Amino acid sequence: MSTIVELIQSSCLKHPYQVALREKKNKHWHTTSYADLWRDSDAVAAGLEQLGIKKGCHIALLAPSSTCWITTYLGVLKFGCVAVTVDKELKQNELRHVLIDSEAQIIFTNEDYVEDLLELRKNLPDVQHIVVMEKTSTRRSQAAETFSIIGDLITEWHSLVTTLNIPREQAEKLERLANQAHQLLTSATADPLSNEPPNLFSPAANLIKEALKKGILLDFDQFIKKSTIEPVEISPDDTAVILYTSGTTGRSKGAILSHGNITSNIKDLVPHFQLDQRIHTLSFLPINHVFEQVCGILLPLSLGGTISFAQSLKKLGENLTEVKPTFLLGVPAVYRIFLDRIMKGINSKRVSKALYSLPLTRTVVAKKVKETLGAGTIFVSGGAALDPAVAAQFKELDIRIYQGYGITETSPVITAEQPGRMRLGTVGKPLPSVQVKILAPNDEGVGEIICKGPNVMKGYYKNQEATDEVLTDGWYHTGDMGKIDADGYLTICGRVKNLIVTPNGKNVYPEEIENELLNSPYIQEVMVYGHKVSPTAEEVHAQIYPDQEMIDSYAQENGSYPLEHKAVENLIRSEVLRIGKELADYKRVKRFTLREDEFPKTTTRKIKRFVVEADISASE
């Protein structure tokens, strides 16, 4: 078994001039070769050494996907440190929890988070430095020079304003003139959103001034050192990353993954999908998430492949067309959006709509769609269960989406479909090094999925109680319900905690009902849950977020635009009843409520059920 560093080093030695990373800036793709990647990550490792960081220290990364993120991540691992990859969408209290719990000593971030982190740092005793990852240090270096000259003057000014009780209006006038003078003297860049010069007198500027003065806040160019370090001895059992679970059911826990956990998964996946050096991925999922980090970044880099970073979700379609990746990772919510857009495009044109409606001519439309997405692309879905109806519609377009199943704690993949081995409604068979069993199956063969293998985490950081709850003799209890058919294909039925038990003692899996309801064009998001009708029984209820765009189209076509709330409710009710007729009586939604806002979600677009359920309980 090898380490992550050894896998990437092998690629850098074999393919030094091959393009490893591509990032689009100012309408041009900027490339980084494997030789560049190795050299630049050395500079990061040397920077850590210069700051006195020791092997095993925890280093947080809080920033969007970028070449610099990858370089930093690899440098952290090279130096024998532990990468704590943080979700950039976290609210301040969640971010505080992760940074305190993980005991991170350095935080790598970008400009967007500097002020918040400096504010939070008052309650983060372990954090020694914050490094701004943008490689353009002009603004920060100018600020450093400015503050070193007039920083004390600004502090005295604040004191003077308070002592002499200078009217705020008069103080602001003088401060505005000083800011303008500073801008003229230093050519400091104005805030692009406000066209105002930087405010040297704001509380945030004062925090930055103090952090610069004490050497807490550093520029990336200031941090890195153009030198190499003595190789640090790293073993496969050493911790590589601590990944905080996305928290669909409560406060996140830090899953400890070793180098061996991750590399074992990569080595299983390469032959599973028949991948080689020609792999080219388009990265758009959150890089802090284990699915993207392992399968979308480390896997292609281990093969000498190429990673292109999508500019944004809005530009994903445009980037797909220009990059034409050979391997693409997505989550069910994104594939559903893809499908909706494809079908809208087909149905908006009379010719394509007619061609698609006939089985004999459907291939003409399918060929065009496939060329747009990428004719030879391997599409993989993970992060949540893909609706079989969505997979079936893609299949009609001659596009195969291979569904995988895994979780953060298993580094991440447990099972996956593969070329020549697909079965609709399943998540494929276990990877070669992973064992899967169904615990205490019922009459239908459904029980909790447990797994064992070299990919299973070491445990939760500083949380032995939570570790003991899920790990027994090396077997990880996933908390998911499933069944395995005679050929070894695994089907996911739902979460153990989400299971609804009806008054008749029947088991209902909310995820199954949700997938059915999402087939309505007027339902954008839905969460099915159990409403208590007795201490031991529940009714099937739902919260629904309507698709306003489709509802408006319906109203315009029927001459009733705009629809009043009661009419929208009636339309959704008719959809719920229509879909319910296709389900067993005990699975039908007995009552629903409409939401005005989207559901709160994790970065992989899964609904945070515990947040919604808390709101439901509070309102009942």
Residues 183 and 157 in one domain: yes
Q: Residue 123: inside a domain, yes or no?
A: no
Residues 455 and 506 in one domain: no
Q: Residue 246: inside a domain, yes or no?
A: no
Measured CA to CA, the distance from residue 508 to residue 502 in angstroms comes to 7
Per-position b or e across 544-554, b if 16+ CB within 10 A of its CB:
bbbbeebbeeb
Distances (CA, A) of 552 to 21, 329, 541, 571, 593: 43, 32, 26, 12, 19
Distances (CA, A) of 107 to 99, 243, 272, 352, 461: 9, 15, 36, 52, 18
What pLDDT is recorded for position 181? 65
Higher pLDDT, 606 or 448: 448
Residues 191 and 338 in one domain: no
Query: Is the per-residue pLDDT at 544 higher than 90?
Result: yes
Residues 342 and 479 in one domain: yes
**Closest to 89 (Cα-Cα) out of 462, 600, 613:** 600
What mean pLDDT do residues 565-588 have? 93
Q: Residue 304: inside a domain, yes or no?
A: no
What mean pLDDT do residues 399-424 have? 94
What pLDDT is recorded for position 247? 54
Q: What is the DSSP secondary-structure string of 339-360?
A: HHHHHHHHHTSHHHHHHHHSTT
Q: Residue 430: inside a domain, yes or no?
A: yes
Q: Residue 313: inside a domain, yes or no?
A: no
What pLDDT is recorded for position 332? 87
Residues 464 and 506 in one domain: no
Taking only the tens place, the pLDDT of each residue in 221-258 is 889 988 878 889 999 999 999 999 865 555 789 999 99
Taking only the tens place, the pLDDT of each residue in 167-205 is 877 777 776 766 666 666 555 544 443 445 566 666 667
State which amino acid sits at residue 239: T
Rounded to the nearest 5°, which phi and psi values hold at 541? -120, 165
Query: Is the per-residue pLDDT at 135 higher than 60?
Result: no
Q: Residue 443: inside a domain, yes or no?
A: yes
Residues 467 and 608 in one domain: no
Residues 357 and 432 in one domain: yes
What pLDDT is recorded for position 478? 95
CB 326 within 8 A of CB 447: no
What mean pLDDT do residues 431-452 have? 95
Range from 456-460, 508-512, 601-605 carrying the lowest mean pLDDT: 601-605
Query: Of 473, 495, 517, which residue sits at a domain end?
Result: 495
Per-position b or e across 253-270, b if 16+ CB within 10 A of its CB:
bbbbbbbbbbbbbbbbbe
* Number of domains composing the chain: 3
Taking only the tens place, the pLDDT of each residue in 341-374 is 899 899 989 999 999 989 889 999 988 888 877 7
What pLDDT is recorded for position 153? 65
Q: Is 137 helix (H, G, I), strand (E, B) or coil?
A: coil
**Closest to 433 (Cα-Cα) out of 243, 253, 268, 273:** 268
What pLDDT is recorded for position 191? 46
Query: Is the per-residue pLDDT at 307 higher than 80?
Result: yes
CATH of the domain at 589: 3.30.300.30
Query: Of 495, 519, 541, which residue sits at a domain end?
Result: 495
Matching residue, tokens 């009217």: 167
Residues 364 and 508 in one domain: no
Residue numbers of the domain that contains 208: 138-215
Q: Residue 609: inside a domain, yes or no?
A: yes
Distances (CA, A) of 265 to 168, 454, 531: 61, 8, 40
Per-position b or e across 357-395, b if 16+ CB within 10 A of its CB:
eeeeebeebbeebbeebbeebbbbbbbbbbbebbbebbe
Instruction: Give strand ranges (E) for 6-62.
Output: 19-25, 28-33, 58-62
Residues 447 and 487 in one domain: yes
Residues 490 and 508 in one domain: no
Query: Of 163, 189, 215, which residue sits at a domain end?
Result: 215
Q: Residue 69: inside a domain, yes or no?
A: no
Measured CA to CA, the distance from residue 232 to residue 228 in angstroms comes to 11
Residues 448 and 529 in one domain: no
What mean pLDDT do residues 599-620 have? 81
Residues 481 and 422 in one domain: yes
CB 428 within 8 A of CB 490: yes
CATH of the domain at 400: 3.40.50.12780
Measured CA to CA, the distance from residue 264 to residue 586 in angstroms comes to 43
